[in-house]
Structures are given as C-alpha cells and as structure tokens.
Homo-oligomer: A and B are copies of this chain.
C-alpha cells in the first residue's frame, strides 16, 4: 500500500502543470462565519496569547512555545510546559497557521478556535485543569472583563472558553508573513529568487514533494477543516526510521484509533521552514539539508545527491517571509493582589 502510493508519484507526468499552480501567500486569512475578525477581538487575543497567567503557575503563555517574536515556534525539539515538563512533539509555528489544513501535528483540532482550547488544560503544557478554572481566573482580572465585553458586545455570557478561543484565533489569523522571495517571484519578479532556488522549486515539483506540500502554505490548505494527512514514513524501512525514531509516535492514530492512521501526520507548512529548526514532529533532525534527505528517502524512496539537496534547501530558504512589526500587548493587572500566588 505504502509502496504503491509512492510509485504513483513517479508515474505522474513531469509537466509544469502543478508548478503553475503555486501561489503567493494571501495577505489576509479566511475566518469562520461565526468568528469574523474585529480589532477588539484581535487586541484581546493578543493579550491572551502573551499572558502566562493562562497557565497554572503563571509561567507559560501561548507565546512560550509559539514565539511570535521568533519564527513562531520555540527552536526546541519538543514543547516545554509548566514545571519544566517536556511534551512529546515539537511546537508548530503560529505564523501562517491560519492556512493550515487542520491544527496540531495529528490534526486533532479542525480550527484555530479548537486548537486554542487544548494546551490550556493539558497537564504537561499549561496545566490549568479545567476550562472553568481558566475562565474563573480571567474573571478576576478587571482588564479582561472589560476587554471581553468590548470584543463580544452581543454575547450575554461574554467570558467563556469559546469567546476566549475566538479572540486568540482572531489574533493568530493576523500572523501572516508575506513577501518571501518566492512570493515576489511567483508574482512576476523573476529576479527575486536565485537560480539555485528556482532549480529547487522545479525539483520539488518534479520529484513529487508538492503533491502533499501544496497550496499557498505548502501544507494542503485546500483540505482545510478536513485535514491533509499523510504517512510519515510513507515507505518504512530506511535507516532513518531508527536513526530519528520515526515510528514510535503513531501520530494521527492517537486521535482516530484506526490502524490505517498509524504514523500519519498533518502535512506541515514549508513557509519559514528554513528558520524553524529542529524538524519533524519529534524535532530529532537539526538541519534542513538532513530533513530534505530524510523526506526524499522516506516519502519518495529517493536518494538525493548533494546538489539536489542544496537546490531544494535554497528554494525552502526562499520561502522565508516578512514578519510584520507588532506592538506588545499590555497585560491587564490585578490591583493590590495576584492571581498566581502558589505553585
């Protein structure tokens, strides 16, 4: 089954038809009908995103692992939560996450709204126990009460886990990195990418990488809400399975408990991938050239030569976009007391 899928890629005609479909990153992201973007929601979402009081002991904010000032991840193999606890997987970047097909490595959240609710009550992440505890704490902070009221003026119950998730998702939808060399190239500036990067761009089409890494975010956002899942490794048995421990985490199987989902993963974005090491769900691969070699071997059964690897790396580097300057939020205070007195 795995082998057959892989072979299919090689019988595809090596035309430029798929290449012609490559698109620049939009400057705005789609929002769900029930959560249109507003300035008030975005501002509130930014406050919440940066507030470590959303963790039990006041040490971890969303930004701790999804660092907006950095590349949107944390540069570490796996996320780190309260009490220094290590998670099992790396922190996906929040930049351009609005264009992901689903959220989390295993796609267990269909939307950014759903995603935002998870880490809060995960014991090894923010450790808040229950969503009620989260909301109770927010209600103790007068600045949040007023900010929620402004952001959700029509909601009678305006501070809930759902309004909170909507605000965070609204902020996250503003995190877009346009104007990469690739974007400029595809929009007509043929000098924006180096000849080597252009070679790499053609190569990823020819050998089949973009059959999964498709769409504006190179992650298959045409399957948004459904999920663009693929086996990794597609072709088990290479030296990399053991070298980088590729098989021990069953991935999407954890969510569905279906055998056919074992070691399936949501296809991650290529946007800013060059600055977002280490690589893969477990962060075991430190450099981009090695990640390219691993993917070619495990997904396409190809041993790339050094020139091919470097061409693809050059292309992936051309996908590093512009990170817009942001102002820092001001986290609302609690006068004369604290909401995180204890461990």
Residues of A within 8 A of B (CB): 50, 52-53, 57-59, 64, 67-71, 74-77, 80, 82-86, 274-275, 277-278, 283, 286-289, 313, 317, 320, 323, 325-331, 333-343
Contact = CB atoms under 8 A, between A and B. Distances in A.
A58 B82 contact: no
A84 B83 contact: yes
A186 B335 CA distance: 22
Report copies per complex: 2
A340 B75 contact: yes
Given A82-B84, A326-B328, A328-B327, A289 B336 contact: yes
A330 B323 contact: yes
Contacts of A278: 338, 341
Nearest 3 CB-CB pairings of A with B: A84-B84, A275-B333, A83-B84
Q: Chain A: interface secondary structure?
A: loop
Contacts of A340: 75-76
B325 A328 contact: yes
B69 A328 contact: yes
Contact of A286 (B59, B80, B341): B341
Nearest to A68: B328
Contacts of A336: 274, 277, 287-289, 313, 317
A297 to B, nearest CB: 18
A252 B328 CA distance: 35
Given A277-B334, A329-B69, A330-B323, A64 B59 contact: yes
Nearest to A325: B327
A76 B50 contact: no
Contacts of A337: 277, 286-288
- Greatest chain B CB density within 10 A among A53, A68, A286 is at A286
A55 to B, nearest CB: 10
22 contacts: A50-B69, A52-B75, A57-B76, A58-B74, A59-B64, A67-B331, A69-B328, A69-B329, A70-B331, A75-B340, A76-B338, A76-B340, A76-B341, A275-B335, A278-B338, A283-B341, A286-B337, A286-B341, A287-B336, A287-B337, A313-B336, A325-B327
Contacts of A287: 336-337
Nearest to A273: B336
- Greatest chain B CB density within 10 A among A320, A327, A331 is at A331
Contact of A58 (B76, B326, B331): B76
Given A326-B327, A326-B328, A327-B327, A335 B274 contact: yes
A327 B320 CA distance: 21
Nearest to A81: B84
Contacts of A67: 52, 331
A334 to B, nearest CB: 7
A338 B58 contact: no
A59 B77 contact: no
Contact of A52 (B74, B335, B343): B74
A32 B66 CA distance: 37
Contacts of A77: 341-343
A68 B328 CA distance: 9
Contacts of A68: 328
Contacts of A288: 335-337
Given A286-B338, A286-B341, 18 more contacts: A52-B67, A58-B74, A59-B84, A68-B328, A70-B331, A76-B340, A83-B84, A274-B335, A274-B336, A275-B333, A275-B334, A275-B335, A277-B336, A278-B341, A288-B335, A289-B336, A317-B335, A326-B328
